Structure 1
Amino acid sequence: MIKKRTTLAVGCALAALAAPAIAQVATEEAGQPNQTAQATDSQVVVVTGSARPQRRFDVSYAVNALSQDEVRKLAPLNMADLLGKLPGIQVEATGGEVQNVTRVRGIPTDDGYALFQQDGLPLMTEINGFFFRGDSMHRYDLMTKTIEVVRGGPAPIYASQAAAIVNSTTVTGTETTRGKAQVTVGTTGLKRIDAYQAGKIDDRTFYAIGGFVREDDGHRDNGFPNDRGGQLRANIKRVTDTGTWKLSANFLNDHNVFYLPIPVADPRNPSVSLDPYIDYFKGTMNSPALRNVPIRYLDGANTLQTERRDLANGRHLRFGNIGLQYDGELGPWQLSAKAGFTKGKLDFDAFYSTSNPADAATFANGFLASARTAFGAVDRLGYALAGNGLAYDPASASGLVMQGQYRALTSDFRSAQADVNVTRNFQTGLGNHDVKLGVYASNYGATTRSVYNDMLIEVRGQPRTLDLLAYSAGGAVLGSVTDNGVLRYTTTLNGGDVDARMAALYLNDTWEISDRLRLDAGVRTERYKYDGYAMLTKAANLGDAATLADNTTRAFTGERQSHVYKPHTTNWTVGANYDFSTRFGGYARASHLEVPPTMQVASSVDPLVLTTKANQYEAGFKTTFGRSYLYITAFYTEFDPLNTSFVAFNPVTGRNDQTVPFFGKAVIRGAEADGAWYLTDRLVVNASLTIQDPKYRDFVSATGADPSRVVGNRIVREPKVFGNIRPSYSFTVGDNKVDVSAGYAYMGKRFVDLFNATALPSYHSVGAGITVTRGEWQFQLTGDNLTNAKGLTEGNPRTDTLAGQGSSEAIYGRPVFGRSARLVVSKQW
């Protein structure tokens, strides 16, 4: 009943947006124009996915354009949280500042095929890097002028591998020198400084420079800072008689610790909460005990390699990018040429969830036989704190112990990319054509290595690592199952290198038949070449007779498996837009997207090489009335084939070696709505709502698993309903302008598994904020999840993807963040 009431509340809010639209538009069409029509939605100009800049109201696809002030009002916690405010985009923004999950219109991938761009060009050609995504490279700061988000539509034509485009445009200098500085502090220990300045060097040369530095202890208590680092961006623009040149540079050096799922209930009795041991809102398996983790493996020369890894390093991404852009005229053609080169390195340390917590006695007994084989007359196994050998009795706490997987990865990556396109308008006897012809090319690659250790820990926040010791009848220690907290060394070992090249040719024609009817169609063809190798591995015993932890490690053999792949894809789109009046319009579109395998297939052992195809259809209605607007879009997406195969954690071997292949089709039907209703000049209600039906179809399994139990089920971790309502009110007190806002967000029920056996219950959150502006100064206070409402954004994907967690509701998952607040003080000039 709560779910139905919540859905009804969001739906009623959007219906309320439509009612005044019809009434007011009817009045305006009758000859009574809106007297307050300033800064209307119909005046918003977008550049992403269009041959030329166009009004948002005129384009034949769903797009949102957010100014810097609009982003400030939304006060997002991270980029995923910002995207989640928009319709049609479901996010899981609880992994930390970056590397969060984004799904666009039900697309069943963790990135939703949303390609990030900066000024129309990606910083890296592939939609994802090796263990980092677009939101890791594209950080929001005061150098971001606007963010445009295209959902579906012509995205497959204007970007590679894209069902959606997130394009950030950067601030550039103008005749007037301007700038801003702001300080942000928060209840999570957040301390951040942002600043930028832009102006002119001479009458034709302009500059902009800015960035941020920050440190944040994080929403969960790691025992060390969660985020630390910063970004610097700058550009110089030169205006000539024929066009404009812009030289830009980016530099990012940032650490972001990753939050993974935690156990929230006792698997022996799911009604028993583990909150006394690991706090729902603050608890994490990240711990200072994991700041000196040993990594051991044999290299290709059979030499033992040993290193120490620090979990506080987190996702340490540093990269530099330099770009050059030209926009000008080439006779009757409008020429745009963009090029960029990115080089960077990722060092990634994270502690991943694996299997459920286990009864401590049962877990220990599972190793008794192997301990007796290795150490002789073992009478019993007992626990001790790793490092100091002090006895530890799990029965004095939760009675549970658990495994976790420490992942240490490195990647050196590079990406050179260029896009050159020309646009020309052709007048004909039947309307005019805006024709855009472009070429995109890239040379990119990466060298990668990954090493996984299984660790044994207690069940509590900031857990201590444990040793499992073998005792004789007299109490003497005969040996150890573990080694200083390591349960199994190097259960996963991978390494490889790949060089990639790609070239794309694209063409789009926007045909304006009349001032009311516009048609457009486009095609993009892409050719790739991946040339790489994977380093082969074998099982190995490192030879330490005092422990079982090194008995079944992986070791490099010294041999390589080479790969050359040449995928070829073709994307197309056809759309139409018809304006019934200056206030009412409609649009429809069909598009076809093909996504090739990533370059990582060429640096993997025996990879699965598969091109994913998606057909997308959408039809929309739009109306704008003064500053108010309403956009409603129905969508239908079909994936065929959809690969939902996954590699599961095997608690017996300690390796991610249980491949469960499932292939089939996914069908997502739905509708999204995006609206703003200005009840008065001071009171506005913004809202978005998405209703969808994401299902699996026509599945098969190569391993004998029953696919009939999957067909017709809800796609994993996808809700039927999600949305938000954001009312705000502004007023003045003396010389102070005051804006007060509130927000209510709702996420519907989801499932962790293909069989839909374990549910992630629906949840909601409430936030509020107040902004006071006095002259050049501004003070903003924002609070999130003020009621400490509980909710899980995912389960435990390492073990529960097929058949769930053995409970009707998830007992292991990644909780939403608890109550927090931030204060931002800024001054502009």
Structure 2
Amino acid sequence: MKTRLLMSAAMCAIPMIAAPTMAQAQAAPTATTSAPDTGAEENVPSDIIVTGSARQQRRFDVSYAVNSLSQADIQKLAPKSTTDLIGTLPGIHAEATGGEVQNITRVRGIPTDRGFLYYQQDGLPLFQELDGWFFNQGDGMNRVDLMTDRIEVVRGGPAPIYASTAAAIANVITVTGTDTTRGKVQATIGDTGYYRLDAYQAGPLSQDTYYAVGGFLRYDDGYRNSGFPSDKGGQIRANIKHDFDNGWIKLSGQYTDDHNLFYLSIPTNDPRDPSVSLNRYIDYFTGTLNTPALRSVNIKYRDGAGVIQNRRGDLANGRHMRFRNVALDYEGDFGDWHVATKGGVTAGKVDFDAFYSTSNPVDATTFASNYRAAATTAFGSGVTRLGYSVAGTGGQTAYDPATDSGLVMQAQYRSISTDFHAVQGDLSVTRKFEGGLGTHDVRVGVYGSLWGQTMFTAYQNYLIQVRSRPAVLDLAAYSSSGAVLGYVTDNGALNDAASLNAGSVDGQVLSLYGTDSWDITDRLRLDGGFRHEWYSYSGYGRPTAAYNLGDPTTLADNATRGFTGATSTLKLKQTATNWTVGANYDVTGQTGVYLRASQLEVPANTTIAFSYPTPAVVATKAKLYEAGAKFAVGGSYLYITGFYTKFDPLNASFAGFNPATGRADVTTNFIGTAETKGMEADGRLRLPGPFSLAGSATFQKPRYLNFSSNTGLDGSRANGKQIIREPKLFLNIRPTADFDIGAAQVSIYGRYDYVGRRYTDFFNSTALPAYGSFGLGGTVTTGAWQFQVVGDNITNAHGFTEGNTAGDRFGQGVPTAIFGRPLFGRNVRLIVSRKW
């Protein structure tokens, strides 16, 4: 019976099962990093061990918000991606509709995509920067599999001390071996054409030496049928650990090779009459602009020597990530001193092919008439009409939009390559000192990283049907006899190489940090920390200009971006200082309160090769304040945190897409402040009998303040408005029933997710409506076998997670969004596993 209860607690919906090692934040003063067995379900979570300070602590004792998701929790949640998993926690708003990777997270209202949620693996980042150039260090480099023992997430609190540019840390802790050999194999199939195999094994190699190895292989046709596979590939991770009398050493390795398709926004209503749905052409749940028509793309551009180059692309390639990582960790006790050191080396490459939505569909007749004058000038007065045809057919396979939706639209093919490398290391020492008033636990450390990226991007705009898996269209100029005199397009491309960039930057950072946890009494603790960082960047960018490639048969090459042949070098040095102070007071053994204030300073990143020295590189500071209360009784608990975030200055400058030129050349510059006041809660209520209820909720007021512009634009309309794509309320609720049927343990659970009203633009003129979705699942465990069924969005709820980001900063011209990235439709997965 006790075993069943412990399993039930471990698999609660938003479990606060803490783990002993947290990023650089861990510095346990013992020779092992294993958390002690709490021994009984009723001790959860009051005796759970957490980290984020000088040494292991109970979650109940710390002065910041922290969660941990164990392998059992991950199994039950069955997330579609790492972002989908992290989005179950309070304070982190996730948009997980882009596929397995390249998704969006925002921490407590900070207005950046993926920014400031800093990922680490076993205490070190796989890459120094948060995002990288289209490979991002979040779900792009961190995929969950059976080698993931748990993921610990610290929000606010000491995060700025234990990682660079971090308002939150997600630390992926990998499985390590013990004296007992154990393992698991798991097969998953889904109704989207999803097939996945996970496996791991861990155990002893010899006395005091242990191993662990595992990974996954996966194939998926995709949530939206693109005409080719969405995801295919896998990864393997392994480590060997040796215990000494006073510590341990561990060597780890990882190799990932994975293709992932990126889903972008789709039009859902006719902009000529927003009450008219486009669902018959682009299905809300299955429709996509990804298309087999872009399996063989050619992007023409001019190199620095004036020679026309051809860059090839295949949309089915998706986001192809390949990287390797090797890491070495050591911890040991030397008298009263605890020493921890770790280092890692990462090298990889990403080739990213994606089809980005850019501007709203337009009436096909109006669109063609806008090019009539230019076509007549280019191809002569014999032009009598412009007409559409399927690209590549020489104008002979005609396409009449009037027999279809009557619309056409532009979208942008992006071909991106990045080679990246990083070396990082951390060394710290920890010691506890007895003082006249309590004890001080002091940690001092140094962190350093050398990293860099070599980047190339070429974007090309295409003319397409308004349909799912659209045909690429040519717009041709015809004579009265029906002969093609020339093309507005070039094999479907409206603008050859509409955008072009290349460069390489290397970065260096050296960080000194220190913390002090002062236990004044057994109930009162004060703590503080600092981190000072020195950054240095060097590299180059390759300036571009507009060129006419000289093809008289098309208008598409008249303003093609090309390299000038010059090189723009950069040298930049910056510093950043982060600090934190906090206090925790246990009122009783079951109730407590805490306070925390922190500062996070954000320097530049290595993508400045494309903009240096304009715009000016300005460091941004985030002030983070929080106060919390906690309650834990038996198997129930509740953690409530009020927070205040001030992000200043917020550089809201952006380049908006200009349909007339096909380039993001409409630059708008705003400088202001982002402020978010809010409250988050997560908890679990253990009811009599088999029932429990868990969940998390965040209520916040994210808004812009003090907007101004140095270009004469009036930013005052944005003051006080809700931050783009940030809801005031988001939550999830997860009821569970656990019971026995004979020798089998059965768990049935549901999930309800709610996201409040958001806006696409600074002025809140176009709304993204609130939505709620339901999920259901169940597991049957009998002996070593487990059978699980998971269903997401079972009612096919409608909901947008974003608008059309390329052109929405001033709205879509309608009160409610008619262009966005919808939720995935109903989908079901069957998971069968066996452990030993």
Please give the range of the TM-score, normalised by the shorter of the 2 chains.
over 0.9
Deviation string for 1:333-374 (max 9, x for gaps)? 111100000000010000001110010000001111110111
Taking a change above 3 Å as real, the CA distance of residues 342 and 73 of structure 1, as seen in their structure-2 partners, is: same
| Other structure's SS at 1:709 match | helix
Mapping of 1:155-174 within 5 angstroms? Answer: 155-174=159-178
Alignment of 1:153-192 (within 5 A): 153-192=157-196
Residues 1:355 and 2:362 are matched in the alignment: no
SS at match of 2:377: helix
Contact 1:564 1:602 in 2 (8 A): no
> 1:709, 1:521 → 2: CA distance?
40
Partner of 2:487: 480
1:36 to partner: Cα distance: 7.2
CA contact (8 A) 2:115 2:131 kept: no
Give the match's secondary structure for 1:38: helix
Residue 681 of structure 1 and its aligned partner are, at CA, apart by 5.2
**Can you list the C-alpha shifts for 1:150-199, whole angstroms capped at 9, x where unaligned?**
00000000000100000011100100000000000001111000000001
Partner residue of 2:647 out of 622, 625, 639 = 639
Q: Establish whether residue 600 from structure 1 lines up as the match of residue 617 from structure 2.
A: no
Could you tell me whether the CA contact under 8 Å between 1:595 and 1:612 is conserved in 2?
yes
Per the alignment, residue 529 of structure 1 pairs with 536
Whether the aligned pair in 1 keeps the contact of 2:530 and 2:578 (CA below 8 Å) is: yes
Q: CA deviation at 1:652?
A: 1.1
Aligned residues: 796
Residue in structure 2 matching 1:682, options 681, 690, 700: 690
Residue by residue, what CA displacement relative to the aligned partner does 1:751-796 show, whole Å, maximum 9, x if unpaired? 0000100000000000000100010000000000000000000001
Mean Cα deviation higher: 381-390 or 805-814: 381-390
Is residue 327 of structure 2 the alignment partner of residue 323 of structure 1? Answer: yes
Superposed CA deviations along residues 180-225 of structure 1, whole A, max 9, x for unmatched, are 0000000111100000000111011100000000011111111111
Query: Do the aligned partners of 2:601 and 2:622 also contact (CA within 8 Å) in 1?
Result: yes
- Following TM superposition, by how much is the alpha carbon of 1:547 offset from its aligned partner in structure 2, in angstroms? 0.8
* 1:108 is aligned to 2:98: no
User: Residue 794 of structure 1 aligns to a residue in which SS?
Assistant: coil
Which among 316, 334, 341 is matched to residue 337 of structure 1? 341
Q: CA deviation at 1:43?
A: 2.3
Which of 410, 421, 430 aligns to 1:423? It is: 430
Are 2:522 and 1:515 aligned?
yes
- Rounded Cα–Cα distance in structure 2 between residues aligned with 1:602 and 1:398: 42
CA contact (8 A) 1:709 1:755 kept: yes
Flag the 1:185–1:707 CA change in 2: closer, same or farther, 3 A: same
Q: Deviations over 1:591-633 (max 9, x none)?
A: 0000101111145354321211100100000010111100000
Contact 1:563 1:603 in 2 (8 A): no
Aligned to 2:33: none
Q: Is 1:545 aligned with 2:552? A: yes
Give the equivalent residue in structure 2 for 1:311. 315
- Which residue in 2 is equivalent to 1:382? 387
Letter in 2 for 1:50: S
Could you say what secondary structure the match of 1:364 adopts?
A: helix
- Report how far residue 746 of structure 1 moved: 0.5
Q: 2: CA distance between counterparts of 1:343 and 1:790? A: 41
Contact 2:221 2:228 in 1 (8 A): yes
C-alpha distance in 2 between matches for 1:429 and 1:218? 63
Relative distance call for 1:681 and 1:162 in structure 2 (3 A) is farther
What corresponds to 2:44 in structure 1?
Answer: 40
Query: Mind listing any 5+ residue stretches in structure 2 that lack a counterpart?
Result: 1-12, 17-37
Of 207, 210, 213, the residue aligned with 2:214 is: 210
Q: Which residue of 1 aligns with 2:787?
A: 779
Equivalent-residue separation in structure 2 for 1:80 and 1:620 (angstroms): 25
RMSD: 1.4
3-state SS of 1:406 partner: strand
Q: For residues 440 and 114 of structure 1, what CA distance do their matches in structure 2 show?
A: 18
Contact 2:637 2:683 in 1 (8 A): yes
Q: Which residue of 1 aligns with 2:142?
A: 138
Report the CA distance between 1:525 and its aligned residue. Answer: 0.2
Correspondence for 1:266:
270
Give the alignment of 1:171-320 within 5 angstroms. 171-320=175-324
Once the two structures are superposed, the pairs formed by residues 67-106 of structure 1 within 5 Å of their partners are: 67-106=70-109
Match of 2:733 among 719, 725, 737: 725
Query: How far did 1:475 drift?
Result: 1.5
Q: Which residue of 1 aligns with 2:754?
A: 746
Q: Which amino acid aligns with 2:462?
A: M
The answer to whether residue 62 in structure 2 is matched with residue 59 in structure 1 is yes
1:432 aligns with 2:439: yes
SS at match of 2:368: helix
Going from structure 1 to structure 2, the CA distance change for 1:630 and 1:81 (only over 3 Å counts) comes to same
Give the AA of the match of 1:636: Y
Q: 2:115–2:130: 8 Å Cα contact kept in structure 1?
A: no
* Residues 545-598 of structure 1 deviation map (CA, whole Å, 9 limit, x = unaligned): 111111110111111111111010000000000000110001000000001011
* One-letter code aligned to 2:50: V
Q: Give the TM-score taking structure 1 as reference length.
A: 0.95
Taking structure 2 as the reference length, what is the TM-score of the superposition?
Answer: 0.94
Q: CA deviation at 1:38?
A: 3.1
Report whether the alignment pairs 1:822 with 2:822: no
Provide the secondary structure at the position in 2 that maps to 1:162.
coil
Aligned-partner Cα distance in 2 for 1:35–1:604: 57
Percent identity reads 58
1:120 aligns with 2:128: no
One-letter amino acid matched to 1:543? G
Q: Work out whether 1:671 is the aligned partner of 2:679.
A: yes
Secondary structure of 2:421 counterpart: strand
- Larger mean Cα displacement after TM superposition, 546-555 or 73-82: 73-82
**Equivalent of 1:454, from 461, 482, 485?**
461
Structure 1 distance, partners of 2:568, 2:688, is: 67
Cα distance between partner residues in 2 of 1:352 and 1:610: 29
Alignment of 1:22-41 (within 5 A): 37-38=41-42, 40-41=44-45
- Counterpart amino acid of 1:220? R
- 3-state DSSP of counterpart to 1:125: coil
